[in-house]
Amino acid sequence: MPGSCYKRLVLDALAEDAPFGDPFGEAMTGEGKGIFFARGNGVFCGGPVAAEVFRSVDSSVVVNFVPEGYWATAGDQLGEASGPLSALLTAERTALNFLQRMSGIATLTFRFVEKVAPYGARILDTRKMTPLQRNLEKYAVRVGGGVNHRFSLSDGILIKENGIRAAGGIALAITAAKRAAHHLVKIEIEVETMAEAEEAVTAGADAILLDNMKPELVREVVERFGGTVFLEASGGIHLGNVEEYARTGVQAISVGAITHSASAFDISFELCL
């Protein structure tokens, strides 16, 4: 992930946390070193972003982390930062916030990917993300082994329930999308029944989102249309049932929870003077 994707965000985060400086941190003199430790098990993610936080406070800070995607167990040392104590104290919370959020997303994504791996299904993210942090959260999904869906509304057309209503129906929505898009844009549409799936295929959809369908129905749609269009299952899918959906043969499973509901991965930063 290029630094241009997060440098502005890092500066904004630091300005939010210390808008008028850090009175106590800036009163500390001398040099020090801090160690990052894992307080649980999970996938490490966000090292380049956390390093940028420290360097943005003071460019003399030296930061090193384990590789992105490293599987951490409780007690593992994940990295260290050394430099002026004032900079370490000012930067630590913002750096940890990025690390814990991104590692949490990568970890939850990995747990989904692990469940479906034997069946060849891909775990996709959605646009249910923290505003202005989409670059980081989609990156964390990739580190966890997931695959990014479209990045924005500009990248592809996914016609959901309200879009179908606005257009007046599935066929009309696909026709409108074909008129609006250039020839390289694929069109995906959401359906909830076999009849709607058939209508979408007939109307020329490139992909179909099988929304809130039971695994049994997903399997039927896969058997009927799997060789014709790209099929994606979504809605009501969690760690407890994702393997059942993967067994249907569906090509992809999108899970909003991997970003909107991922728990922070517990990481601590401890000074060692």
| 51 and 25 fall within a common domain | yes
| 92 and 128 fall within a common domain | no
pLDDT, residue 184, reads 87
Query: Would you call 196 a catalytic residue per the annotation?
Result: no
Given the residues 160, 161, 165, 270, select the one marked as catalytic. Answer: 160
Given the residues 33, 39, 93, 127, select the one marked as catalytic. Answer: 93
pLDDT, residue 273, reads 73
Q: How far is CA 43 from CA 70, 76, 110, 149, 195, in A?
A: 6, 12, 8, 21, 41
pLDDT, residue 25, reads 86
Query: Would you call 128 a catalytic residue per the annotation?
Result: yes
Percentage with pLDDT > 70 across the chain: 100
Strand arrangement of the beta sheet that strand 187-191 belongs to: 122-124, 252-254, 230-234, 207-211, 187-191, 157-159
Query: Would you call 266 a catalytic residue per the annotation?
Result: no
List, for residues 62-118, the tens digit of each pLDDT value: 999 999 999 999 999 999 999 999 999 999 999 999 999 999 999 999 999 999 999
In the predicted structure, residue 140 carries a pLDDT above the cut 80 = yes
Query: Would you call 93 a catalytic residue per the annotation?
Result: yes
| 16 and 42 fall within a common domain | yes
The 3-state DSSP class for residue 74 equals coil
Given the residues 52, 188, 190, 232, select the one marked as catalytic. Answer: 190
List, for residues 190-242, the tens digit of each pLDDT value: 999 999 999 999 999 999 999 999 999 999 999 999 989 999 999 999 999 99
| 170 and 81 fall within a common domain | no
| 256 and 266 fall within a common domain | no
Cα-based angle 69, 72, 73 (whole degrees, multiple of 5): 160
Query: Would you call 214 a catalytic residue per the annotation?
Result: no
CATH, residue 76: 3.90.1170.20
| 173 and 250 fall within a common domain | yes
CATH, residue 223: 3.20.20.70
| 184 and 100 fall within a common domain | no
Q: Give yes or no for a contact between 250 and 231, defined as CB atoms under 8 angstroms apart.
A: yes
| 156 and 21 fall within a common domain | no
List, for residues 38-47, the tens digit of each pLDDT value: 999 999 999 9
Please give the tally of structural domains in the chain.
Answer: 2
Domain containing 123 equals 114-260
